[in-house]
């Protein structure tokens, strides 16, 4: 069973202030009340990973036909359902296992990010090197969040008012645009509009990592003064 809280060995507060946080929390609580007893947090985690592999498969198979992008869209919904509800259901039923959940949940998040951006980079719409820039940016920002949870006592899940759910909506919009616009070179030659969009997002994530890392280091230096 999955719970997104950090291990019990540390006192950490989850900070989630993204635009859709309140609305999503109400929806997840409502859905938790509808789920039968045989649906467990572990099974939801597994379902989320099925969605992740579907996203990957849809992007890669779009080399054969853009119709496969429908599989990616379905995968994004399934991945949200499983990934968002596993921890919510554990809290709803009061069956949390914080250390186990924290470890497994964020391990799955890392693999999911690799599958999404790796699949996108293997599709005909986004260059692999551009997708890897976005992957590096997301993973760097994740590293910052995990480190800050250790030194600052807070697990930050929101940056620039956006969190994982908002990013899923961005991915849905991007995938629909791929279906509508196709993989033609466009106005930028070998660099498509999709490359520019994904590369810009990746660059912003890397910049956020640098800015937040410098700010946190400056704050910690004030606390941990030299004798």
Q: What is the pLDDT of residues 116-167, one digit of tens each?
A: 999 999 999 999 999 999 999 999 999 998 898 888 777 877 777 777 888 8
Nearest-angstrom CA–CA distance, 118 and 33 = 35
- C-alpha closest to that of 188 among 200, 176, 179: 200
Q: How confident is the model at residue 186 (pLDDT cuts 50, 70, 90)?
A: low
Cut 0.85: pTM above it: yes
* CA distance to 99, 112, 113, 141, per residue, from 82 (Å): 19, 12, 15, 23
pLDDT digits (tens, 9 = 90+) for 69-110: 999 999 999 999 999 999 899 999 999 888 898 889 989 999
Domain map of the chain by residue range?
A: 13-223
- The predicted pLDDT at position 188 comes to 62
13-223 topology per CATH: 1.20.120
């Amino acid at each position: 069973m999955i719970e997104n809280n950090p291990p019990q060995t540390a006192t950490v507060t989850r900070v989630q202030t993204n635009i859709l946080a309140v609305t999503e929390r109400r929806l997840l609580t409502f859905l938790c009340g509808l789920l039968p007893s045989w649906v467990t947090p572990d099974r939801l985690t597994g379902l989320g990973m099925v969605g992740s592999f579907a996203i990957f498969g849809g992007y890669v198979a779009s080399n054969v036909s853009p119709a496969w992008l429908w599989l990616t869209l379905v995968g994004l919904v399934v991945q949200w359902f499983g990934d968002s509800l596993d921890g919510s259901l554990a809290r709803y039923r009061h069956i949390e296992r914080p250390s186990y959940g924290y470890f497994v949940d964020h391990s799955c998040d890392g693999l999911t990010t690799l599958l999404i951006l790796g699949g996108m980079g293997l599709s005909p719409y986004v260059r692999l090197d551009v997708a890897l820039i976005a992957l590096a940016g997301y993973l760097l920002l994740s590293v910052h969040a995990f480190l800050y949870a250790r030194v600052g006592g807070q697990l930050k899940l929101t940056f620039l008012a956006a969190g994982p759910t908002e990013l899923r909506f961005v991915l849905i919009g991007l995938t629909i645009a791929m279906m509508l616009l196709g993989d033609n070179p466009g106005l930028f030659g070998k660099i498509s509009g999709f490359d520019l969009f994904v590369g810009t997002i990746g660059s912003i994530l890397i910049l956020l990592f640098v800015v937040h890392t410098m700010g946190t280091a400056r704050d910690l230096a004030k606390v941990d003064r030299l004798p």
